[in-house]
Structure 1
């Protein structure tokens, strides 16, 4: 038995095998092949649709300053510059540059379909 829990779950068939690491925007995307011009198989990814931003609960809003890159914003807000795509998904941006404009407001959200905590009322 493997010492790595993820490998164990893959081996047991409880997690689908993927070429992409957990946390990748493509994790869980299917890799398919089609014949190339010479008949040799050519691998491609199935289409990934961006989720509806309404499915994300807002925790806070960050105002971008001039010259700030989305990987820098992601490092500051999420703790990982490679998770910039999560900010894109939550804010309905297809291209990272859409969230880099001076004075742009970027929503920091909970993961998709995780409801916001209910506020305590007296």
Structure 2
């Protein structure tokens, strides 16, 4: 089975596997997506959270696509992504997706 995800999906490069039930029925599922270490991601900018910001609005402003909010979460080691925008004034690192080279010092 080949999964079809949009190019901006965090799962676009995630492989699939198949488990076969005892009665022979194949069930397809996604491999685990391991969250990369933020230090391994090429940083491209910093963004200060403003009152009323949501992670999707931060991603839209910084990356041009609200569906790339997962990249902001990955770059900031977020266990609960909603916490990233809970406090105005928090500075968030904006980074490229894993495997895309850039300026890692940002």
Same fold by TM-score greater than 0.5: yes
CA RMSD of aligned residues (A): 2.5
In the TM superposition, what is the alpha-carbon distance from 1:42 to its structure 2 partner? 2.0
**2:52 aligned with 1:57:** no
Summarize the Cα distance change of 1:92–1:117 in structure 2 as closer, same or farther, 3 Å threshold: closer
**Which one has a bigger Cα radius of gyration?**
1
Where does the alignment leave 5 or more consecutive residues of structure 1 unmatched?
1-16
Distance in 2 between residues matched to 1:75 and 1:59, nearest whole Å: 14
Summarize the Cα distance change of 1:112–1:71 in structure 2 as closer, same or farther, 3 Å threshold: same
TM-score normalised by length of structure 2: 0.77
**2:106 aligned with 1:106:** no
1:62 aligns to what SS in structure 2?
strand
Distance in 1 between residues matched to 2:3 and 2:44, nearest whole Å: 31
1:73 aligns to what SS in structure 2?
helix
Q: Which has the higher contact order (CA 8 A, sep 6+)?
A: 2
| Counterpart for residue 116 of structure 1 | 103
TM-score normalised by length of structure 1: 0.68
Distance in 1 between residues matched to 2:44 and 2:69, nearest whole Å: 16
Where does the alignment leave 5 or more consecutive residues of structure 2 unmatched?
none
